[in-house]
Amino acid sequence: MDKIHIPVLLNESLDSLSITPDGFYIDGTLGDGGHSIEILKKLSPNGLLISIDQDQYAIDFVLEYYQQYEAANWIITKSNFADIDRIACNLSPKRNPDGILLDIGLSSRQLEESHERGFSYQKEDEPLDMRMSNELGVTAKDLLIALSEKELSQLFWKYGEEKYSKRISKEIKENISNINTVGDLTRLIYKAVPAADKSINKNPSRRVFQALRIVVNDELGSLEKGLDNSFKVLKQNGRLSVITFHSLEDRIVKNYFIDKSRSGEGRMLFQKYIAPTDDEKRRNPRSASAKLRTLIKN
């Protein structure tokens, strides 16, 4: 993969932040840098952009790909956006952000260039790792070994909404000694899912891989913490914009924004959410399930 993936809802997310040239902004999910670089282009030398990612491979790519944009007012740091308040305080102690953008989910590069981490169910020879950062201790394979059949079933149902979670977890535990790679796991999942369902749904491994990745990286816990810390560190009338890709993430964001609105601490920019246009969906099928929500701090 020799080019950046297309930033989802790019213009809509930039508009939602209402960027001013001298403002301070945080991109909590750097990824391929598509959103970050467009924010940076709107800033003057007095503005500041902090971009965060826990994936060192993503940071290395951006530093090389965008080296011509190296600037004193663009700081890239390796961390989890859950700690965004601490990061903002350490890197810009005298300023509170005017806007924060979180683009939740896996990037195209992480799927296509996973660096032997097994994010994609199509990379059959890769190990079952799934850690965004090698500083995390537990891999996907560790979960398959350590959790009971019932616990795995609950995990696949809760985080992947997998209706055949019991059948899949039973097949996994009965063959656990033979599971070492992505291909080993996908073949067992394929065996457990009824033939009729295989013909009408996407790859039956998709939901299981999503569930394992979410738990390995504590993605939903990080999102909840990240939302709270982002809102806490925002300046008055600052904006928090979040792009989600599946219902579990979106439910957390939606409920958080509603709670802040009802309490009078914030107000939602959009009555509902912004979705990609039909044209964007055609150009970038990955954007199809994306939803953008924005909360303004009172």
Structure letter (DSSP) for residue 77: E
The reply to whether 34 sits in an annotated binding site is yes
Q: Quick one: tokens of 68? A: 């011509």
The reply to whether 270 sits in an annotated binding site is no
The reply to whether 103 sits in an annotated binding site is yes
DSSP string, 108-130: HHHHHS-SSS--STT-TTSBS--
The three-state secondary structure class of 68 is helix
Contacts 24+ apart (CB under 8 A), 172-178: 172/144, 173/148, 173/149, 176/144, 176/145
Amino acid at 76: I
144's CB contacts (< 8 A; 6+ apart) are 128, 152, 172, 176, 179, 185, 212
**Pick from 69, 76, 61, 74: which is nearest to 107 by CA?**
61
The three-state secondary structure class of 224 is helix
**Pick from 35, 23, 141, 12: which is nearest to 81 by CA?**
35
Binding site: residue ranges?
33-35, 53, 81, 103, 110
Binding site for S-adenosyl-L-methionine: residue ranges?
33-35, 53, 81, 103, 110
